[in-house]
Amino acid sequence: MATYETIAESLDISPTTVVQYVARARQQGDVRANRPFKHRGRLQALQRRKTIREMKALGMSAREIAKRLGINVRLVQIRLKEAAN
């Protein structure tokens, strides 16, 4: 259930290439290419975690990150603590 960006990073290819490969696999009937709708929230959460780490690396405070992403400051603090471990 990795994002296209995560797959692309691990394979050192562009996300567009990953999208094309997955689309081709779907057309050929490969069941591994199907992404159940119920996992969309998990994928969005993983993307948000990545964004929080990137914003912190740019020197932004937890309060600034929370304001930009429209989420609670405490959630940002929790995600940063998880990333540190």
18 neighbors 52 (Cβ within 8 angstroms): no
What CA–CA distance (Å, rounded) separates 24 from 59? 40
pLDDT band at 36 (very low <50, low <70, confident <90, very high): low
pLDDT in tens, 41-65: 777 888 999 999 999 999 999 999 9
Residue 4 has pLDDT above 90, yes or no: no
Nearest to 3 by CA among 39, 27, 38: 39
C-alpha dist (Å) from residue 17 to 2, 4, 11, 43, 44:
15, 9, 10, 19, 20
pLDDT in tens, 23-32: 999 899 988 8
pLDDT band at 37 (very low <50, low <70, confident <90, very high): low
